[in-house]
Amino acid sequence: MTRARVRYLALLVVSGFVTGCAGDVMMVNPRTRETAICRESLRGLNPWSQQEACVGDHIARGWTRVPGN
């Protein structure tokens, strides 16, 4: 294998481990017990953009994260 291929393979492996940390976040409205799920975006490739916007929006409206998520 050439060095470029080895570096590319290493980059793919590292990005797979890093993006594997993200997951769906369940939110709950403490007054009504209604739940909503903020899903990870792009199968974990960019988990912080849309998901964190969803979580932030729910928190601003008084929702909380479900413990264990």
| The predicted structure's pLDDT at residue 26 | 94
Q: How much is the pLDDT for 50?
A: 83
Spatial contact of 59 and 69, defined as CB atoms under 8 Å apart: no
- How much is the pLDDT for 15? 53
The residues, ordered by sequence, that sit 6+ positions from 31 with a Cβ below 8 Å of its Cβ are 62
Residues 36-54: tens digit of each pLDDT: 999 876 655 655 678 888 9
Where in the chain are the domains? 3-65
pLDDT of residue 23: 77
- Return the ∠ at Cα 27 (arms to 25 and 31), rounded to 5°: 170
In the chain, which residues have pLDDT < 70? Answer: 1, 6, 8-22, 41-48, 69
